[in-house]
């Protein structure tokens, strides 16, 4: 287990570079990498089960203690990012499948990689974990409705099928993991240190598969889609922080909302795009998986050197176990 733990620590530390390597592998060997595409939903289900294992019922208590911050944060997550995804795609004149892909990324819930970034940025980790958990539980309802509303005029959207897929790929595995954590806590505690390895390997394989299935499109339109992804993530981070300023949240909470809004479960977006549309629609999700971990690391480094003067007690504690799994790629 100690060897696996060291490997998992290495994978978590170099997650962004490993995901980038997966994308390069997809370009170098597209035929082999594209064989993964039909199994992306299964891979994501395994990753989300791991995310459930990192959760505890206590993670939801902050909703009762600080409902305003959580509600505002989740509301921002499900308004700012979907609208940005649609608006940027329209402004850049992306084709219909890529429009859908951008909207899917924007309509996805937060991922637990954001919890690590918030911790490193000296933000409110408890708020971050609560926002990730609540947005994930709301995803089966909100994600299909947002995709239907924003992209339904671009391509036919089967909102009911999306709902069922998210139940199968996200909600059921997450709840199963959470339940196992409750009934077999000691066993789960022993394997928690290696869970990041499962998530990193899963996301790297997903990215390789998506890029491999779209190798020609990446080479022809990759720079334009990359620009769209960078704008999407950067504006999400900025607007998330601005919302925190407008509603007068403490600085640590502003950082948490900023990161939670800007970082998405792009692996879920890629899986849904592959299953319900076409591999090309998964391209924004694959590129977002790479970029938002790079930008998140940069913003964490910047904020880590600037402790919030009004930080609530506890934001300097070690990161909660629920924040150790970078499954929100």
Query: Where are the chain's structural domains?
Result: 2-308
Per-residue pLDDT at 255: 94
- Model pTM above 0.85: no
Per-residue pLDDT at 21: 86
Per-residue pLDDT at 14: 76
Listed in sequence order, the DSSP H helices in 111-265 are 113-120, 125-151, 159-166, 172-183, 185-191, 195-213, 215-246, 251-262
Q: From the CB of residue 141, how many other CB atoms can be counted at a distance below 10 Å? A: 14
Nearest-angstrom CA–CA distance, 115 and 326: 8
Nearest-angstrom CA–CA distance, 247 and 241: 10
Per-residue pLDDT at 232: 97
Find the distance separating the first CA and the last CA of the chain, reported in whole Å.
25
Structure tokens that stand for 312 in this block: 């609530």
Per-residue pLDDT at 317: 43
> What's the Cα-to-Cα distance from 180 to each of 46, 51, 194, rounded to whole Å?
14, 12, 16
Give the burial class of 137: count Cβ atoms within 10 A of its Cβ; 0-12 exposed, 13-18 middle, 19 or more buried.
middle
From first to last of its 329 residues, the chain has per-residue pLDDT tens of: 577 778 877 776 777 788 788 888 888 898 888 888 778 778 878 877 887 887 777 767 777 777 888 999 899 999 999 999 999 999 999 999 999 999 999 999 987 678 778 877 888 888 888 888 889 889 999 999 999 999 877 777 777 888 888 888 878 888 898 899 889 888 888 888 887 788 778 878 888 887 887 788 777 777 899 999 999 999 999 999 999 999 999 999 999 999 999 999 888 888 888 888 888 898 898 888 778 878 887 888 789 888 887 654 444 444 444 444 554 55
Per-residue pLDDT at 34: 83
CATH fit for domain 2-308, picks 1.10.620.20, 1.20.1530.20, 1.10.1040.10, 3.40.50.300: 1.20.1530.20
Q: From the CB of residue 215, how many other CB atoms can be counted at a distance below 10 Å? A: 18
Q: HSE-up of 138 (CA within 13 Å, CB side)?
A: 19
122: nearest Cα among 321, 297, 323, 306: 306
114: nearest Cα among 284, 323, 254: 323
Per-residue pLDDT at 326: 52
């Amino acid at each position: 287990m100690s060897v696996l733990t060291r490997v998992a620590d290495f994978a978590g530390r170099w997650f962004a570079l490993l995901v980038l390597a997966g994308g390069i592998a997809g370009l170098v060997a597209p035929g082999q990498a594209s064989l993964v595409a039909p199994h992306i939903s299964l891979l994501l289900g395994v990753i989300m089960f791991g995310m459930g294992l990192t959760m505890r019922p206590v993670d939801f208590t902050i909703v009762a203690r600080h409902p305003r911050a959580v509600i505002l944060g989740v509301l921002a997550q499900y308004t700012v990012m979907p609208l940005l995804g649609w608006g940027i795609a329209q402004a850049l004149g992306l084709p219909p499948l890529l429009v859908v892909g951008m909207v899917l990324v924007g309509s996805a819930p937060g991922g637990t990689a954001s919890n690590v970034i918030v911790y490193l940025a000296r933000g409110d980790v408890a708020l971050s974990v609560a926002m990730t958990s609540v947005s994930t539980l709301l995803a089966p309802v909100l994600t299909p409705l947002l995709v239907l509303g924003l992209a339904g005029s671009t391509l036919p959207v089967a909102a009911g099928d999306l709902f069922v897929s998210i139940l199968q790929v996200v909600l059921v595995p997450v709840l199963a993991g959470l339940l196992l954590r409750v009934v077999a806590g000691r066993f789960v505690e022993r394997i928690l240190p290696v869970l990041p390895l499962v998530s990193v390997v899963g996301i790297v394989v997903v990215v390789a598969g998506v890029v491999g299935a779209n190798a020609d499109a990446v080479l022809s339109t990759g720079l334009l889609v990359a620009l769209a992804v960078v704008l999407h993530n950067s504006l999400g981070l900025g607007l998330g922080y601005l919302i925190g300023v407008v509603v007068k949240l403490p600085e640590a909470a502003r950082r948490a909302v900023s990161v939670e809004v800007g970082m998405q479960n792009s692996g879920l977006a890629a899986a849904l795009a592959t299953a319900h549309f076409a591999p090309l629609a998964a391209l924004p999700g694959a590129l977002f998986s790479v970029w938002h971990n790079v930008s998140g690391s940069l913003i964490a480094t910047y904020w880590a050197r600037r402790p919030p003067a009004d930080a609530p007690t506890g934001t300097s504690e070690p990161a909660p176990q629920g924040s150790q799994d970078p499954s929100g790629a």
